Amino acid sequence: MIWYPYEQMKTMNPPYRITDAQGVYLYTEDQKLIDSISSWWSMIHGYRHPALTRAIVSQAEKFSHVMLGGLTHEPARKLAEKLKNWLPGDLDYSFFSDSGSVAVEVALKMALQYYMNRGEKRRTKILALEYAYHGDTFKTMEVGDDEDYHFVLNAYGPSRSVIHIPTDIKALETAFAAHHEELNCLIAEPLLQGAGGMRMYDISFLKRARELCDHYGVLLIFDEVATGFGRTGNRFVADLVLPDILVLGKALTGGYIGHAVTVASKKVFEGFYDDNPQHALMHGPTFMGNALACAVALKSIELFECQDYMAKIRRIEKITRRELEGFSDPRIREIRIMGGCVCLEVKEAGILKGYQQFAYERGVFARPFLNYLYAMVPYVIREQELVRVLDTMKAWFLR
Ligand SMILES: Cc1ncc(COP(=O)(O)O)c(C=O)c1O
């Protein structure tokens, strides 16, 4: 029996059974649904894209996987090379892993060990943001701030290594002033905090964070697992403010296979590169650099570049703003739009009860959580399809 995520198995509604998928559509036996959340924000090119399928099949005909311990191969080498050339600054060193959570764990381990390797043993603390979400493994839960998901951690009492602050420059400055000697990193989902409620904040916060990290010698980590590949309307937020470590996942493979990467700058890499074996990064997920994942990631990036995906995302944002212009309802607290993300935050979670089935009946797959009704559509969506998604959201309040 399948044990489903984030659900009370005893009381959950049965999940919709998908029999096929193509483009922006999921098919059940009796319905054709626009996937308004791109399979947890990853399926940016839509389902069953022929070029992506071909990339996987042709790699599978050679080999699907070989480990990176003592072995290497062209798809991993090419993807690391592509990321080196494509990502901003000197984010040149790619450590692959099998999921976003693991890639964040790797980033946190890198930041801690970077200072341990230098003999700075006091730097054991992490600055993180309120409402952050970085995954469901133990350290990512700890840097996260998501009571609704991670309350089990309360069993351990308050965290001794993580300090949470709001996305407010004064709070940032105060935290640095108080803790800079103990901090090894600041970790943030830049501009858009996803699972914490699609919260959007200003770039000035990140610019100030960069200055303070430089001033106090603290590493800046951007978790762009959700925001990367255009979701905020920027290719990467790292194009605007350069982090020392960048984490990518989800859309890295166009959503086709789970894979992620922790990309380090030259400075971070050099903190590990010496004759002392104890200064090596002791991490190695079995499926890191999986050949199918690397092959499909390369093809996904090629599509993203050649078919001007940034223009597609600008179009999605423009249509979304146009369709929601002037729309309001007393039950809605706020409407937030950024790039390829829209969120209607309602005043009470109960207001969204029944929405999923309502949307299903109108040909849209949606998965609101808590007080958040949102869409993160595949970038290949056509105008009338996007309008349908937005009309469905509005219709819920106009009933
Ligand atoms: C910002 C962020 N970081 C990390 C993760 C975890 O990624 P994964 O589910 O691949 O472990 C997520 C997943 O939603 C995320 O949104």
Q: For 95-138, write each residue's pLDDT tens digit.
A: 999 999 999 999 999 999 999 999 999 999 999 999 999 999 99
Residues 216 and 278 in one domain: yes
> Which residue puts its alpha carbon closest to atom 8 of ligand 1?
100
Residues 330 and 210 in one domain: no
Residues 117 and 195 in one domain: yes
Any domain includes 64: yes
Predicted confidence at residue 150, as pLDDT, reads: 84
Taking the C-alpha atoms of residue 246 and residue 223, their distance in angstroms, rounded to an integer, is 6
Any domain includes 12: no
Distance 251 CA to ligand 1 centre (A): 11
Residues 350 and 378 in one domain: yes
φ/ψ of 245, rounded to 5, equals: -135, 135
Backbone dihedral region of 253: left (phi > 0), alpha (psi from -120 to 50 degrees) or beta?
A: alpha
Domain boundary at 262, 283, 306, which? 306
Is residue 148 part of the annotated active site? The answer reads no
Residue spans of alpha helices (H) in the chain = 38-41, 50-60, 74-86, 100-117, 138-143, 147-150, 169-179, 203-216, 266-270, 291-306, 309-324, 355-361, 383-398
| 312 has a pLDDT exceeding 90 | yes
Distance 33 CA to ligand 1 centre (A): 24
| 7 has a pLDDT exceeding 90 | yes
| 60 has a pLDDT exceeding 90 | yes
Predicted confidence at residue 146, as pLDDT, reads: 83
Residue 105 in contact with ligand 1 by CB distance below 6 A: no
What tokens were used for 64? 């699907």
Predicted confidence at residue 304, as pLDDT, reads: 98
In the three-class reduction of DSSP (H, G, I as helix; E, B as strand; rest coil), residue 222 is classed as: strand
Contact 133, 169 (CB under 8 A): no
What tokens were used for 69? 């311990």
| 352 has a pLDDT exceeding 90 | yes
| 237 has a pLDDT exceeding 90 | yes
| pLDDT tens track for 251-279 | 999 999 999 999 999 999 999 999 999 99
- Evaluated on CA atoms 191, 349, 377, 23, the torsion sign reads positive
Domain boundary at 306, 330, 363, which? 306
Is residue 133 part of the annotated active site? The answer reads yes
| 383 has a pLDDT exceeding 90 | yes
Residues 286 and 208 in one domain: yes
| pLDDT tens track for 20-48 | 999 999 999 999 999 999 999 999 999 99
Question: Which CATH number characterizes residue 171's domain?
Answer: 3.40.640.10
Any domain includes 1: no
Residue 224 alpha carbon, nearest atom of ligand 1: 1
Predicted confidence at residue 309, as pLDDT, reads: 98
pLDDT band at 336 (very low <50, low <70, confident <90, very high): very high
Domain of residue 36: give its range.
20-49+308-398
Residues 26 and 85 in one domain: no
Is residue 273 part of the annotated active site? The answer reads no
Predicted confidence at residue 67, as pLDDT, reads: 98
Any domain includes 14: no
Q: What is the average pLDDT across 368-372?
A: 97
Residues 116 and 28 in one domain: no
Predicted confidence at residue 284, as pLDDT, reads: 97
21, burial (CB in 10 Å: exposed 0-12, middle 13-18, buried 19+): middle
Is residue 27 part of the annotated active site? The answer reads no
Instruction: State how many domains the chain has.
Output: 2
Q: What pTM does this model have? A: 0.98
> Which residue puts its alpha carbon closest to atom 10 of ligand 1?
100
Taking the C-alpha atoms of residue 47 and residue 44, their distance in angstroms, rounded to an integer, is 9
Residue 285 in contact with ligand 1 by CB distance below 6 A: no
What tokens were used for 284? 């190695």
Distance 177 CA to ligand 1 centre (A): 30
| Identity of residue 85 | N
Predicted confidence at residue 125, as pLDDT, reads: 98
Q: What is the average pLDDT across 303-323?
A: 98
Q: What is the average pLDDT across 73-79?
A: 98
Any domain includes 9: no
Taking the C-alpha atoms of residue 230 and residue 367, their distance in angstroms, rounded to an integer, is 21
Any domain includes 389: yes
Domain boundary at 249, 284, 306, which? 306
Any domain includes 11: no
Any domain includes 295: yes
Residue 260 alpha carbon, nearest atom of ligand 1: 10
| 194 has a pLDDT exceeding 90 | yes
Look over the chain and give the mean of its residue pLDDT values, rounded to a whole number.
Answer: 97
